[in-house]
Every structure is written in structure tokens, then in C-alpha cells.
A and B are shown apart, each in its own frame.
Chain A
Amino acid sequence: MTTSTQDKPVSNGVNTEALIGARGVFAEMPQAASFTFRSNCDWVDGSESRNTINGYFGLGEEHIRKQTFVISSDHPAVFSATDRAPTPPEIALSALASCLTGGIAAVAQHRGIQLRKVQAVVEGDMDMRGILGMDPDIRNGFSAVRVTFNIDADASDDDIRALVAQSQKRSTVFDLMTNPTNVHVVVA
């Protein structure tokens, strides 16, 4: 009934106390839990575009980071594109992998499990006839996404499986990919 705990202090680089503290704050002030994230995207040329990511809203105010992050995207040569950056769906797959991986670290820390290695391989299947509008029965998005984790940790196989399961349960990007979202696109 209990998850594994160890006598040796566990360090996965996650500040669990801060996360638990945040739960306490948000229970008192639910409005502080409302965050808005954003990305600014500029078309470069052809299928290439560049996102810059910095500011976000949360805890009732706007936050500016010290560093602006850049994520570029392009299409590969087989689509006669310049292939200077990963495709948007590949970025989505990487976002899923990162979200689940970060979640695993947080859950492991909370459960007292020391991680040594966490590797994920993420694959998404796509039928290109969808985005080319050739068959209305084929969707644009992935027909299936597979994630395979390779984890080395001080825990039983079942405890590791439970980590991965809990991480999915609490993952933003897993939720985004498995559940519908209202998306409003407007022209300013």
C-alpha cells in the first residue's frame, strides 16, 4: 500500500517541498494558480519559422525571464523544404517526452526513489494523406503515439511502472495529446 521509501536522502534535483508549498498557496488563493503561457512565432521563409519564448503570466503577475528561448521549426528535404529545424509534430513529441520525464523526476523525488537514468524514445505515426487533404477519413494529427522509457532507479519494476503511470496522470502535454482542447485562432 505504501510506495518505496529509503533511509538514504534522495536527490533528483527536484524541490518537492516547493511544489507541496505551492499546493498550499493555491488552495488558499486559487486565482494565483491561473497561468498563461505564450510563444511568439515569426515566419522566416518557406516552411521555416522561429518561436521566441520568454514572458508568462502567473501568481497574479507578469514574469520576464533572464533569457529568451528560441525554438525553430522547418520541414525536411523530402517535402522539398530546407530542413533547418525539426518539424512541428516532432517538437510536439519532444514536448511530450520532456513533460513525462520531468514528471517522473518529480514523482520519484516525492516517493523517495533515486533516479540514475531516464531515457525516452517517442514515436508518432502519421499518414501524410491527411494533411494533404486526400482522404477525409485520415486525420492530420498522429494516428498513434508510442513512448518507451528506459529507467534506471533504486526501485522495483512495479514502482518504476507506477512512476511512469503517475507522471502520465499529471502531465500537461499527455493531457493535451489525449484530450480535446478548445483552440481559438483569430486574425488581429
Chain B
Amino acid sequence: MRCISTVIIGAGQAGLAMSKCLSDRSVTHVVLERGEIAQSWVKDRWDSLRLLTPNWQSRLPGFSYRGPDPDGFMNMPQITDYLRDYAHVIAAPVEEHTTVSSVTPDGNSYLVCTSRGDWICDNVVVASGACAQPRLPQIANAVPTSIAQLSLATYKSPNQVAQGGVLVVGASASGVQIAAELSTTGHSVTLAVGEHIRAPRHYRGRDIQWWLDRTGVLDAAVKDVDDIARARRVPSFQLMGDAGLDAIDLNTLQAMGVAITGRLVGIRHGKAQFSGSLANHCAMSDLKIGRLLEHFDDWAMCVNLPDLQVPRRLPPTCFPSSPHLTADLNNGAFRTIVWATGYSPDFSWLKLPVFDQKDTLIHDQGVVAPGLYVLGLPFMRRRKSALIDGVGGDAQALADHLVANRTKRAA
């Protein structure tokens, strides 16, 4: 049994940023990592994935991109190297290959049990990630056994997908990227589309992330939105980390030969059922991105920004007038389903009454309980909380909170 002020669980960008912030405040701590530093980026993602944010936007406390290509997008080995460099530069006290099995209260302290011994600590920072496991809908259980199923954790590349029909479920960043590469490799792809938001890679000559960053959209705080629960559920933009690509939206995909249909809502007697709400989901996506681009224009006018290209609105999303409402999963037309239905965190080892009825972690801007913190969740304190670029600000705020309350708790 070892005693320490603070245990950070997870050595990704969130855990490392917190480590740096605690070191800066002379708080002794250890970072426990079940595998290796930043391993999820390589092990639990698909091969072609690159960050959706440009290199310049991977700013962390005391660290930023210094390479030759600030406008490029890191692939998974590159982001892993980047974070390992960060861990090295900040001398993060990481203990790798240490899996946390439970966190339980122990008086005013916490007991952290791991595969390599136990810790007693005053504070726990949960930095195990918002994307620890793929989120699958219940209906995945109703898929006929003849269909191969892949999730965002098991899908790696088109090579592992049998030739023939593929149903990709979900049309946010992951779904559109996977649908595109499967289509390029000769698969017959149908994309089931629910709520989504299209986004151009560039607008008026600048990367969309530049706009989101400079206009302050990403800085929006919890108090700035009227429905934080909804803001936390907003899906990722239909984007891909490729500066050469104008857009990877439903129009792009359909031009590539991908068929689109509504949200997958049921599987009955081996038949997939799709919602008839595709038209509205496309309309909402067009309206949302229209408002965002208009907001950018207003801001550019306000700050009188020179050298911008003229605004060009996106053509409306095209969709079939009668998309298929059902698909037979037993007739061989589909051989594979890829569930691109998002990720969820895994807090199963957190043995504390800190979850709501839907098993969602309850927290107030990252403060879960006295001495218990979480980092890296969507819109945790700000819209950018789940981005590499946003976790640093949150870590600083929570480190300040931790230090301020440490004295209080000790007294």
C-alpha cells in the first residue's frame, strides 16, 4: 500500500495535462495507465484516422506542436508520439501496464486498487477518456448471426470487411469516414443517418477549426448554453483530417456511390428498419451549419478581418425522395454492419454513488465529489473540453480547485 496526494487514472492527453498542472502546483501524484501512454489512439481506433483538428491546435499546458506542418493532421502513431514526447518533457510520473480495478472511499481518502498494488490518496482524477468503449445500440443483439459486426474499436480497415454490402450505422465523423473508405475499396455501402452536422473542412480560405477557435465558439462555457445536457450530446462534425478534402458530407458520399437512408431504428425478423426522418435530419444539419457559418461571417465583419475569401454557402444536402425504410439482412445483400454509433466512457471500476439512473457520471464541471475529479468529457467545462486543445484549460481549473480544497479538507 502506497500513500500519495493524488492519483490520476489514464495517461492520455487529459491525464498528462493534469500531471503537468499538478507538478506546476507541487502536488505529488502518480499517473496510472492500463497500457502504454496514449495507447487508445493506436489500439482502439481505425488505421486511417487522423485528428480532426490541425497540428497547431494540439496545445497542451507547457507544450505545443513545433513541427514543420502546423496545418497538417496527425495520424494515430503521430499523436501517440506527440503525447509520449509531452510525457517526457513534463516528466510525468506514469506507471504503465497498471490497470485500476476499483476506486472506493476510505474515510476522507480514496483507495485505488490496481493490478500492481494499491494506493491511498486524497484525490483521484479520472482521466480514462470519454471514448473508452464503443457505444452499441440494443438492437445490435438482434442482428442475424450471418452478418459480421464491427464496432469503432474492432474496425481497422476495409481489408477486414468482406466484399459486398456493408451497412454503416451512424453518420458523424467516424461513420462518414468509414463509409467513404469502404466505398472507395469497392464495397457497396449504405449509411444509416440520424442526427448529424455537416461541416466544410475550409471556409473562406481558413480551416473550420481556425474559425471555431478564433470566434470563441470552442471557448463557450457551461453557463453560455441553455441546455447543457443537450450540448453534451451534440455529435461530432462530419469531418476528416485531410486538408485536401473540401467536405465529407452526405453529398460527397452519395457522389461516391454511398446510399443513404434514415436512422436505424429496429431489426425485426431479420429485417432492418430505418426511420422516415432522413429529410428532417438533413434539413437540421443544413440549418445548423448555415447558422454557424453566418456567425463566422458576422464575427469576421466585426473584427474587420482582411484577406478572407468571399462567403460561399454550402449547397443543400441531397437525399433520395424515397430512401429504403427496410433492408433484408438475411438475403446476402448485406454481409457486414459497422456500428459508428459513438463512444462512451468506462467508469465501471468507480465504486461510488456518483451515477444517475442512466449510469452517467454526475459532476459539476468536472468536480464529482470532494477530492474526486473527472477530465476530458464532452462540454465538461467548455465546448472544447473533449478536445486535446481544450483539456489543458480544464486541467488547470481543476488543479486550482484541488489545491484550494486540499487545504480546506486538511484543516
Contact = CB atoms under 8 A, between A and B. Distances in A.
A9 to B, nearest CB: 18
Interface string B258-287: 000010011010000101110010011001
A162 B266 CA distance: 27
Nearest to B295: A1
A163 to B, nearest CB: 10
A179 B275 CA distance: 5
Contact of B266 (A145, A169, A180): A180
A86 interface: no
Contacts of B160: none
Contact of B265 (A30, A174, A177, A179): A179
B322 A161 contact: no
Given A1-B217, A1-B295, A158-B291, A178 B276 contact: yes
Nearest to A174: B277
A144 interface: yes
Given A1-B217, A30-B357, A144-B322, A162 B277 contact: no
Given A1-B217, A1-B295, A30-B357, A161 B283 contact: yes
B257 interface: no
B91 interface: no
Contacts of A169: 280, 284
B287 A165 contact: yes
A168 interface: yes
B292 interface: yes
Nearest to B291: A1
A153 to B, nearest CB: 16
A interface bracket (residues with beta carbon within 8 Å of B): 10 to 19
Contact of A165 (B217, B273, B275, B284): B284
Nearest to A142: B276
Contacts of B266: 179-180
Interface in B86-114: none
**Interface-centre pick from B217, B266, B273, B276 (highest chain A CB count, 10 A):** B276
Nearest to B277: A178
B134 interface: no
B277 A168 contact: yes
Contact of B262 (A166, A174, A178): A178
Contacts of A165: 280, 283-284, 287
Contact of A180 (B217, B273, B280, B322): B273
Among A30, A166, A168, which residue has the most Cβ atoms of chain B within 10 A?
A: A168
A169 B277 CA distance: 9
Given A1-B292, A174-B277, A180 B262 contact: no
Contacts of A158: 287, 290-291
A4 to B, nearest CB: 11
B280 A168 contact: yes
B284 A178 contact: no
A4 B258 CA distance: 36
B266 to A, nearest CB: 5
B283 A180 contact: no
A95 B194 CA distance: 24
8 contacts: A1-B292, A144-B322, A145-B276, A168-B277, A178-B277, A179-B265, A179-B266, A179-B275
The list of the 9 closest CB pairs from A to B, nearest first, reads: A178-B276, A168-B280, A178-B277, A165-B284, A180-B266, A1-B295, A179-B265, A178-B275, A162-B287
Given A143-B322, A179-B275, 14 more contacts: A1-B217, A1-B295, A144-B322, A145-B276, A158-B291, A161-B283, A162-B291, A168-B277, A178-B262, A178-B275, A178-B277, A180-B265, A180-B268, A180-B273
